[in-house]
Amino acid sequence: MRMSVSSPVDWRTALGKVQWFRLYGRVARVTGMIIESVGPYAKLGDVCKIRGLDGSECLAEVVGFREANLLLMPLGELTAVAPGSEVLALHAPLSVCCGPWLLGRVVDGLGRPIDGLGPFPSPGSPDTEQRPLESAPPHPLARRVIDQPIATGVRAIDGLLTVGEGQRIGIFAGSGVGKSTLLSMMARNTSADVNVIALVGERGREVNEFLERDLGAEGRRRSVVVVSTSDQPPLIRLKAALVATAMAEYFRDQGLRVNLMMDSVTRYAMALREVGLASGEPPTSRGYTPSVFARLPRLLERAGNGPVGSITGFYTVLVDGDDMNDPIADAVRGILDGHIVLSRALANEGRFPAIDVLASASRLFQAIVPPEQWRAAAQVRAWMQRYRDVEDLLRIGAYRQGADPETDVAIARWPRIREFLLQDAAERSEFAATRDQLLELAGVRGEP
């Protein structure tokens, strides 16, 4: 019996004749901000494309599942979506394009340019790197020890609340107390190489004011600004914080010293709460869902020193009704390496920056400053506390001079302490000059 041998198969030719198919899902229902889709297969965090009846397309992210159906949240405005609209899984999470050309640019919550200065280089171009929005923090044993201060140009911070390179610190304040102004002062005057500034849930009116009036041309030259205004979907506001952190990680991995400034963590947490409640999570403390408190450390721990480079994090926290025991404020304070409290009472008196030094603390202060600065700061804080104890008595003329010699010294020193703490927004204070002023104010002699 003879067997015929067929000719060899040209697989390239065969594959070229194969007709490829894409598997689409279909929109089943829309409830509030959640789109429920029957198929396609996708993982949590994957991005899908939804096609409306008029041909318009919108990206959405998989935020949960209901039985076998996908729960999607849009990454933009939904238009012409109806039952049966096509849903295509892209089988990849969001990422952001990074490069040195980011400096001086303004991007939206997904990392796309919105400043009218032209598009970014395409992925794969020289000096271009695609970074995932979600990444693991540096390994605890790979983090370099924080032992060097970083200048902010603000006397009250550099002198009494010195921040270390790679430290993460919170700025706690109510609305309208000067958070944005303080951030802009640090962005213009810092000794860091790069600023990455995230405006999360900001009022649309204030964005251009911050760029033109507060940050200015000097600050913008070495800054990247990520903007997501309060009218945008919660998922965009949430992603803005992740985009800014991913960009900061890119510059850190180039060996640069980066300041990551986020205004504010509270609005990031509010966006997380909206997503969690919409996807069916139970509310807990003040309506915040459990995932909020699980994701906060995952975001905040990404800042810090790496094997090369550093990210010094400044995170503003809105305290509702100036309540420092707000759940988000309390959770963030427990994660970060220090806190700066802005006082409404000081702002009402016209004292700016309105930093309440006695309510603020830098956990690494003693480790990163010389002994004479630590002694001087301790002495000034002691005088400030004594003056605060008798301030009401002084106002009504009930304090008798000579009752307490240390208090008498504090009262005599108070005008100079107040002058040291006051600083105009346009004024820059050099780090060495700040230290010298503090030593002279406290009467502490520096090492020869």
Task: For the chain, give the percent of residues with pLDDT over 70.
Answer: 94
**What's residue 206's pLDDT?**
85
- Asked whether 422 and 437 are in contact (CB, 8 A), the reply is no
d(CA 422, CA 424): 7
Q: Can you point out the beta strands (E) in 240-303?
A: 257-263
Q: How confident is the model over 378-389, as a mean pLDDT?
A: 96
Most confident of 162-166, 203-207, 422-426: 162-166
Q: How confident is the model over 212-229, as a mean pLDDT?
A: 90
**What's residue 1's pLDDT?**
44
Does residue 324 surpass a pLDDT of 50?
A: yes
Distances (CA, A) of 278 to 61, 160, 273, 423: 13, 44, 8, 45
The H or E element that residue 71 is part of is strand 69-74
Residue 350: pLDDT band by 50, 70, 90 thresholds?
confident
Q: Residue 409: helix, strand or coil by DSSP?
A: helix
d(CA 147, CA 371): 14
What average pLDDT is seen over the chain? 90
Does residue 320 surpass a pLDDT of 70?
A: yes
Tokens 């096609």 locate to 51
**How many Cβ atoms are within 10 Å of 430's Cβ, its own excluded?**
14
The string of pLDDT tens digits covering residues 115-130 is: 999 999 988 888 899 9
Task: For the chain, give the percent of residues with pLDDT over 90.
Answer: 69
- Asked whether 195 and 259 are in contact (CB, 8 A), the reply is yes
Buried/exposed code over 16-53 (b: 16+ C-beta within 10 A; e: otherwise): eeeeeeeebbebbebeebbbbbeebebeeebbbebbbe
**How many Cβ atoms are within 10 Å of 321's Cβ, its own excluded?**
7
424's tokens: 């105009």
**What's residue 379's pLDDT?**
97
245 contacts: CB under 8 Å, gap ≥ 6: 198, 260, 299, 302, 303
**What's residue 322's pLDDT?**
67
Q: How confident is the model over 322-341, as a mean pLDDT?
A: 89
- Asked whether 195 and 166 are in contact (CB, 8 A), the reply is no
**What's residue 11's pLDDT?**
62
Does residue 441 surpass a pLDDT of 80?
A: yes
Q: How confident is the model over 218-246, as a mean pLDDT?
A: 94
d(CA 240, CA 96): 11
Q: How confident is the model over 137-162, as a mean pLDDT?
A: 94
**What's residue 343's pLDDT?**
92
Residue 46: pLDDT band by 50, 70, 90 thresholds?
very high
Does residue 329 surpass a pLDDT of 60?
A: yes
Omega into 307 within 30° of 0, i.e. cis? Answer: no
Q: How confident is the model over 55-60, as a mean pLDDT?
A: 88
339 contacts: CB under 8 Å, gap ≥ 6: 169, 170, 171, 172, 333, 360, 361
Q: How confident is the model over 335-353, as a mean pLDDT?
A: 92
Q: How confident is the model over 60-73, as a mean pLDDT?
A: 92
**What's residue 273's pLDDT?**
95
**What's residue 284's pLDDT?**
87
- Asked whether 202 and 241 are in contact (CB, 8 A), the reply is no
349's tokens: 């008196």
**What's residue 254's pLDDT?**
95
Does residue 19 surpass a pLDDT of 60?
A: no
Q: How confident is the model over 375-384, as a mean pLDDT?
A: 97
d(CA 116, CA 202): 20
Residue 16: pLDDT band by 50, 70, 90 thresholds?
low
- Direct distance between the N- and C-terminal alpha carbons of the chain, in angstroms, rounded to an integer: 105
Residue 448: pLDDT band by 50, 70, 90 thresholds?
very low
- Asked whether 376 and 439 are in contact (CB, 8 A), the reply is yes
Omega into 371 within 30° of 0, i.e. cis? Answer: no
- Asked whether 37 and 27 are in contact (CB, 8 A), the reply is yes
Alpha helix positions (H), 284-326: 290-300
Residue 17: pLDDT band by 50, 70, 90 thresholds?
low
**What's residue 399's pLDDT?**
86
**What's residue 321's pLDDT?**
66
- Asked whether 319 and 172 are in contact (CB, 8 A), the reply is yes
